[in-house]
Structure formats: C-alpha cells, structure tokens
Amino acid sequence: MQDKQDQAPTVDGISRRRLLGTAGAVGAGGLVLGAAGGAAGYAAAGPDAPAALSTLGSTQVAWGGEHQPGILQPLQARGHLIAFDLAPGAGRKEAAALLRRWSATAERLMKGEVSDGATAIALDAGPSSLTVTFGFGHSFFSRTGLEKQRPDALDPLPPFSSDRLDRKRSDGDLWIQIGADDALVAFDALRALQKDAGDAARVRWQMNGFNRSPGATAHPMTARNLMGQVDGTNNPKPAESDFDRRIFVPASGEPAWMAGGSYAVVRRIRMLLDDWEKLSVDAQEKVIGRRKSDGAPLTGGTETTEPDLDKVGADGKAVIPADAHARISRPDQNGGAAMLRRPFSYHDGIAADGTPDAGLLFVCWQADPLRGFTAVQRKLDRGDALSSFIRHESSGLFAVPGGPGKGEYVGQRLLEG
Amino acid sequence: MQDKQDQAPTVDGISRRRLLGTAGAVGAGGLVLGAAGGAAGYAAAGPDAPAALSTLGSTQVAWGGEHQPGILQPLQARGHLIAFDLAPGAGRKEAAALLRRWSATAERLMKGEVSDGATAIALDAGPSSLTVTFGFGHSFFSRTGLEKQRPDALDPLPPFSSDRLDRKRSDGDLWIQIGADDALVAFDALRALQKDAGDAARVRWQMNGFNRSPGATAHPMTARNLMGQVDGTNNPKPAESDFDRRIFVPASGEPAWMAGGSYAVVRRIRMLLDDWEKLSVDAQEKVIGRRKSDGAPLTGGTETTEPDLDKVGADGKAVIPADAHARISRPDQNGGAAMLRRPFSYHDGIAADGTPDAGLLFVCWQADPLRGFTAVQRKLDRGDALSSFIRHESSGLFAVPGGPGKGEYVGQRLLEG
Ligand code: HEM
Ligand code: HEM
C-alpha cells in the first residue's frame, strides 16, 4: 500500500499540493497555482503544511492541460452539481457555441476574474481553488447527431436492486461540477454558467454539496462524511503506477476526443442518519470495517495500515466482517475494479418524512465505469452491511473529456471533430 | 460614523476579535478564546489580520457570560436554524430538562469536545468558532403555563402587505441558531441538539445558511450577500454609546429573566435573482443607494463614508433615490429604530418554478422588536425599491435570554423563576 505521508514531489519548480482526502498529489493538468503573480500567493496547503488563511482565497487551479480541473484537486469546502438538457431546437451548433461560452467563463473565473457585473456576487474574493468541470451525458449525442462519437462507456448503468432513483434528478445532456473553498465564489460561478446557457439549454437538476473547511482539523487525516467516517483513505494515488490507466482514458484511447478524459459516475446517496445514529460506535465500525475515530482498519494500526482480512477474533468471527463495506469494495475483491472517489456531502434540511435529507453526493472517476463503479456497486448491491443505512436516490454518468489545449474549448474535439 | 479600521481593543488580556461583517468588536460575554490552552491557539482573525489556517479550527467562543454567543461574533461560514415545538404532553418540567441538556451539549461542543460517539461527525476537528444560541417563541409560554412571564415584546409581528409567509416554516416554541466556520462541526451540533430533544420536542422547521469563508477575500470589507452587495456596513457598532441599549435588554429590564437578552427576528427572504440579474449594475446600485463594487454610498467615498442624502445629480434627481433601500432603512428615517443584522445566505437549489431557491436568512437582534425590525419593515413594506426583487417567505420572533451564569442553563431564570 502507498504511504500517504510521502513528501510532495516538485514539478516545474512548483510544489505539488497534497490531495486532502482523495488521491496523493495534484497531477499534470491539475496544478494548483498561486494567484496573481505566482510563488508568493502559492498555497502550500495540506494537513501537514497549514497555509496562511489568506491563501484560501488566493489559491488558483490551472485551467487546461491534460485533464480538466476538479478531478485531482483537493476536495473543496463547497460544491454545486448542475445538469442541463439542450433546449428543443438546439443542436450541435448551439452546443458548440455554449461549450465555447462556458469554457471562457470557467477559465476567467478560475483565475479570480469577476463574472459579468450584473451577476457578480463574489467581487473582491480570490479564486478560492475554484474548479469547473464539464461532462456529456448519453442523451447528448442523439440530440446533436453525434451518435457515432458516443463512447460505449456511456451505455446506461445497469439497474441495481437497491436503486430508488428519481429520474428527474438523474442523467442529463450536459453536466457541470463546480467546487471552491468559498461559498460565494462557488455560487457566483453557478449563476454565471447558468446565465451563459441562455436559450441553448435548460436546467434539469441542481444539487449543492460541501466538505469540511481547510484548517478545521490539524490532523493529517482524510476527509469525513456525515456518518462521521474517515472517507477516501484507500483511493488510488497518482503516484501508483496504474493510477493513470485506471482513472483516465489514454492518449491513444477510444473515442479519440476522450483522450485524457475520464468518466464520472454521480450518485446522490441519502444517509438514513436517524437509523445510523441508533447503532453503537462498535456496530457502526463493523459496518465499515474501520475505526470511526481515525479510520484505521479494525485489525489495528493507523489509517494507512493494510487491513488483515483473514484475522479472526476471540469469538471465532472475522474481525473485519464478511459484509463490511471497506472489505467488499476493495479492488482485490472486484477483479481489480478501482475508481477515484471525490464526493461532496449534502444536507438539504428535513425531508417530508421528518428525517434529514442528507448524505453523499458520491462522484467517482474512472477510465471505464463498467470496470470501476458498476463492478463494485454490483457487489455492494448484493451484500454491503452499509446498505441498510443508505439509499441511492439519483444517478448520472458523464463523459468528461480531457483538458482543453490553448485557445480550445472543452469538447471542441467532439463538437468540431 | 464609526471608523471600521479601529484597532481591536484589549479586554482582560485577550484581544477582542474584530467582527467580520457585523459590528465592531466582540463584546463582553462573547469573547473569542483560543482552543485548548489559550493564547497559542488564539485567532487574531479578521480581514486585516489574517490568521494561520489552522486557527480556523481552533478558534473557540466562550459559553456563558452576559449574553449568549452567536449575536456579537463574526459571521460564520456555516449556519443552521432549527425550530421545535414541545411534544404533546410536554410542559414546563420537560422543557426545563431539555434546556438543561441543550445547554450542557452546547457548552461541551463549543469547547471542541465531541458529541456522543454514535452521532459524532466532526471528530478530530476544533470548535471552529461554533456558537449555539437558544430562543423562546410566543407559543412556548402558553404550552408551559408561563404566560405571566411572556414579554410583550413577543407579541406577534404585524402582517406586512408584501408578506408571503409559509406558516409551517414560521414561528415555533423553541429556536436554536448554530454557527461555525466548518460545515461538519455545524452539522454535528445540529444532530447532537436534535438528538437531545428526545421525546420532549419535535422539529418544526429547519434551514441551512452560509457566509463567505474566512480568508476568501483580502479586502477589509464587510460581508456580501447573494445579490453581490456589501451587506452589514451600517450595523450598530459595540463601541457606540447606545449600542447596548439598542440591542440588549438591560440588567434592570422587564421581564427580569430577559436581563442581558435580546429579541431575534428571523425572516427567510427569497431573492428573485433571475429578475435582479437582468438589471444593469447601475440600476442595481440605485435600488440600494450604494456601489456594488465596494459598498460606498452613491454620493462617493468609501464603504464607511456617510451618504450625502441631499445631493442632487446633473439630471436634477437625488443621487441616492428616495426609495433606495439604504436610505429608507436608516435609523434617522425611522425614529431612531436600529437593529443588529447578522444574517446567513441560503441556497436550496432550484425551486419548483425553476428559479433559484436562494436569498437571505435575515436574522436581526434588538432590545425591542417593535422599535427595531417592525418600525423599519413597515417603512420598507410601503416603498423599498428592493421590494420587487425579494419575497419574505417565513417569519419568526424569539426571546433570547442572556448568557447563563456558571452552572446555570439557558432560560433557567424563566423556567425555575
Ligand atoms: C453513502 C455511501 C457510502 C459511504 C458512507 C461510504 C463510506 C466508505 C468508507 C468509510 C470507506 C473506508 C475508507 C476509504 O477507503 O475511503 C469506503 C471505502 C470504499 N468505498 Fe465507500 N461509501 C459509500 C458508497 C460507496 C459506493 C456507492 C461505492 C462504489 C460503488 C463505494 C466504493 C468504495 C471503495 C472502492 C472503497 C475503498 C475500498 C478499498 O480499496 O479499501 N462506496 N467507503
Ligand atoms: C434580502 C433582503 C435584504 C437585502 C438584500 C438587504 C441589503 C442591504 C444592503 C446592501 C444594505 C446597505 C449596507 C449596510 O449598511 O448593511 C442594507 C442596509 C440596511 N438594511 Fe437591508 N437588506 C435586506 C432586508 C432588510 C430588512 C428586512 C430590514 C429590516 C426590516 C433591513 C434593514 C436594513 C438596515 C437597518 C440597514 C442599514 C441602514 C443604515 O443605517 O444605513 N434590510 N441592507
């Protein structure tokens, strides 16, 4: 197993920033840059290298390059997911113009420039690690006459027995993920991109998420979710030799317009927190197979210790139960299936039934969703101890092309290919 | 006018922390303390004194004292408002026991101690400026047989012609305001306090809010709302001689159990952002009477310059229009009426009509709501240029007693008086 305490390597004279809660470091195409003028504003942020507070605002993520932003960057404190359908009558031409507008806006806002004056909400704030990521859904291709360019990987996900999906909050022709460490910066980007849509596309659904604030904890520990679990520990790390192959479509991959791209599976997963919180900590830990306090496997050690899956307790039972979530989701239990999980938590108040409308905006990234998400979810669907405490309420699958080249817009190779 | 650049004075050897976006400094009973051990962890936070990132987590607000926390403290990045009704059959005894449980939990969590293990969500995080504030609604007093103790100030607010109130999301026997700079810390407190309610009280409504993250901007400027306006500029400042008299019930005030307390008016105010963003910046600025970029009055200067209300432009019209929000809401236009506005923004995605369900969780504090909120809202209701762009959707009025003494719980003087 990868040692998460590895020193961050240096690329092009700019220190790589360690990923909080996801993978190990910011890869090529996802550099975290300083704001307005470079080195001085650069945030050497990370659990073991606390940055000055003001770098929260000034931290800037690069636009363009090999991959789109928002995949390898540290989890941000705020997130918006929004899906659009092309308007009736809008086709390939309108979509191309829209993606051109969107790309220009994303590039500008990620630099910390303000959105159009009348919309402008976050005036005077820095980019605050803003990332904007664009994806295409299955239905996009028939609406634009681009069926021949549709990747097989976009074939609809199979139904799972535990699915309770709201179709109105699922799928969509186009998808945008927005993340930032400041709520107004994220909301400003959301409004600006929505305005750009103009007559070309209509909002299908929109969701809000969050993660903890940088600096809330001094522990060099991965993120937590709303069940209180350390979440993200065993994500694939960019330093691993098979990372790129698992997460990104290779340069020589199919279809060509997806080179450097990735597939995002988006699941709104409700947590049944009233039930969950009735369990003892002990029972909660058996559901996952890891300790709640520090994320260490129940067989001992620290968060990064490899679990001893064969260990049997004094009671003759496996210490990490056979149906523990972190046992059965492992690549070695699923033919090597792996994905990069980069979620937001959500909390939309109280649902009609009086329980909290809260959980995980589960977003995972992989080169092949069939060998990533689908393989693992098939297994979880059959026998995950966590199943009784969660409910998949919506679903999306989006093709997220590589980062745009200089002067290019996202998806240009698809739309003008 | 108070100069906002004043150096923070020192109280009891602990520097007062400047209020971001509300009033001038943290008053007595609202000291911001360092975490676990004092000075080292103390956050000298504020726009002109950026703190180290890790102080976001370690910043601790004092429990107890003259006033409850959450009134004078800087706006936090996350907030929850939750109202409860006492359960059928629950009376004064059950309410007293509940307030005792709630106070103990609030005190513990504000120190950064974790909530009960099974609920615990924010394990390993610092208190992150957590504040918990408790209030009593009009209906509380009849349910507990305490009508004689009910302050006249809790008489229902008058109806306003522009009200579009959802009664299910208004009022309530009991009200809690939670604020913290970390989302998981705030959510953990919400869950813990809800759990404490047990069989004694049921959730009536619950809302989530946010403000910008500390450090997102380097400008020494007040907060912004989702219309992009600098908001909070002309709040009363603790250093002003009439501040205490305007905001807090005096020690000798009526009823006695409200000494050191304050009345909170809570209005969920939807912003009609699609309409608002169709205005030019110029038109937006005329609606408020202040510049969008920096909050300065349209008659010139900086954010803290006094507006010149008599100034007439080349076109013969008042530079600050007669119906400008920041003109007609002024104390000098309302018989001296003043309140301390300490809001959160909210954004709950897309409403049924396709527009953003976003706006202001307007919370304002005053010694007398009739001479504060009601006086001003009557005026705004008749002729505020902002009216076309906002909609009051819910309303609450709560009596928030002073801070508990040592070993006391909030409201003890009412419930055991
Ligand atoms: C609300 C729903 C979920 C919660 C609360 C949750 C929580 C967790 C936790 C606490 C861990 C252990 C720490 C870690 O390695 O990250 C974990 C691991 C993992 N989860 Fe989930 N999870 C959820 C849903 C899913 C779903 C839907 C999938 C994919 C279909 C998934 C795939 C994985 C994988 C692949 C691992 C890493 C296993 C390993 O390699 O050790 N999880 N999850
Ligand atoms: C979404 C609704 C509202 C928005 C967007 C809004 C926005 C603003 C803005 C931008 C200012 C100028 C800067 C400042 O001094 O803070 C202001 C001032 C003020 N507002 Fe509002 N406001 C809203 C609702 C209300 C309500 C409901 C009241 C009370 C009934 C109110 C009372 C005041 C007062 C007292 C001032 C200060 C006036 C002065 O002394 O100069 N506002 N508001």
Judged against a pLDDT cut of 60, whether residue A201 lies above it is answered with yes
- ipTM value of the model? 0.89
Look at residue A220 in the predicted model and tell me its pLDDT: 67
Report the DSSP pairing between strands B344-350 and B262-271: unpaired
- Closest of A309, A193, A288 to residue A231, by C-alpha: A288
Please give the distance, rounded to the nearest whole angstrom, from the Cα atom of residue A241 to the centre of ligand 2.
Answer: 57
What are the start-end ranges of the E strands in B90-145?
A: 131-136
Q: Under an 8 A CB cutoff, do B183 and A210 touch?
A: yes
- Chain A residues with CB under 8 Å of B284 CB are 118
- Marked catalytic residue, from A181, A196, A231, A244: A231
- Pair type for strands B174-180 and B340-341: unpaired
Q: Tell the residue number behind the tokens 């527009």, with chain if given.
A: B355
Say how many Å lie between the CA of residue B195 and the centre of ligand 1: 26
Average pLDDT over every residue of A194-206: 97
Q: DSSP H helical segments within B298-411, as ranges?
A: 325-328, 375-383
Residues 312-331 of B with CB under 8 A from A: none
For residue A18, count other CB atoms closer than 10 A to its CB: 25
Beta bridge partners of A135: A175
Tell me which of B231, B235, B323 to substitute to probe ligand 2's pocket, judged by most ligand atoms within 8 Å of the beta carbon: B231
- Cα separation, A342 vs B253, whole angstroms: 54
Q: Do A53 and B57 touch (CB under 8 A)?
A: no
Q: How confident is the model at residue A158 (pLDDT cuts 50, 70, 90)?
A: very high
Render pLDDT for A166-187 as a digit per residue (tens, 0 to 9).
999 999 999 999 999 999 999 9
Mean predicted lDDT score pLDDT of chain A? 87
Task: Check CB contact under 8 Å for A182 and B345.
Answer: no
Which of B340, B347, B350 lies closest to B226, judged by CA?
A: B347
Choice from A341, A370, A386, A389 to test ligand 1 binding pocket (greatest atom count within 8 A of CB): A341
Q: Which ligand is nearest to the CA of B328?
A: 2
Give the minimum alpha-carbon distance from A326 to chain B in angstroms, rounded to a whole number: 19
**Mean of the pLDDT values across residues A348-357?**
93
A273: nearest CA in chain B? B119
List of chain B residues whose C-beta atoms are within 8 Å of the C-beta of residue A204: none
Residue B12 bears catalytic tag: no
Question: What stretches of B289-337 show up as alpha helix (H) in DSSP?
Answer: 325-328
Q: Residue B331 Cα, ligand 2 centroid: separation in angstroms?
A: 11
The pLDDT assigned to A92 comes to 98
Averaged over successive runs of 10 residues, the pLDDT of chain B (417 residues) comes to 31 26 32 36 30 73 96 97 97 98 97 85 92 98 98 98 96 98 96 96 98 86 91 96 97 96 98 96 97 96 97 96 97 93 97 94 98 97 96 98 96 95
- Asked if the Cβ–Cβ distance from A185 to B216 is below 8 Å, we say yes
CB–CB of A404/A381 below 8 Å?
no
* Ligand 2 atom with the shortest distance to the CA of B359: 1
Alpha carbons B214 and B20: distance in angstroms, whole number: 9
The per-residue pLDDT for A32 is 53
- Say which range, A51-60, A360-369, B67-76, B193-202, has the weakest mean pLDDT: A51-60
Residue predicted with more confidence, A117 or B81: B81
Contact A54/B218, CB-based, under 8 Å?
yes
Residues of A in contact with B350 (CB under 8 A): 203, 205-206
Least confident of A41-45, A65-69, A269-273, B106-110: A41-45
Question: Does the CB atom of residue B360 touch ligand 2 within 6 A?
Answer: yes
String of DSSP letters for B149-194: G--GGGSPPPP-TT----GGGS--SEEEEEEESSHHHHHHHHHHHH
* B119, B128, B212 ranked by CB distance to A182: nearest: B212
Shortest alpha-carbon distance between residue A380 and chain B (Å): 23
Amino acid at the residue A114: V
By mean pLDDT, which of A45-49, A121-125, A399-403, A404-408 is the weakest? A45-49
Lowest-confidence region among A114-128, A244-258, B2-16:
B2-16
Ligand nearest to the CA of B359: 2
Q: Report how many helices (DSSP H) and strands (DSSP E) chain B contains, helices first.
A: 10, 13
Please measure the distance between the N-terminal and C-terminal CA atoms of chain B and give it in whole angstroms.
41
CB A330 within 8 A of CB A306: no
If you average pLDDT over residues A334-348, what whole number do you get? Answer: 96
Residue A295 DSSP one-character state: -
pLDDT of residue B383: 92
pLDDT of residue B220: 66
A123 contacts in chain B (CB < 8 Å): 224, 228, 292-293
How far apart CA B146 and CA B142 sit, in angstroms, is: 6
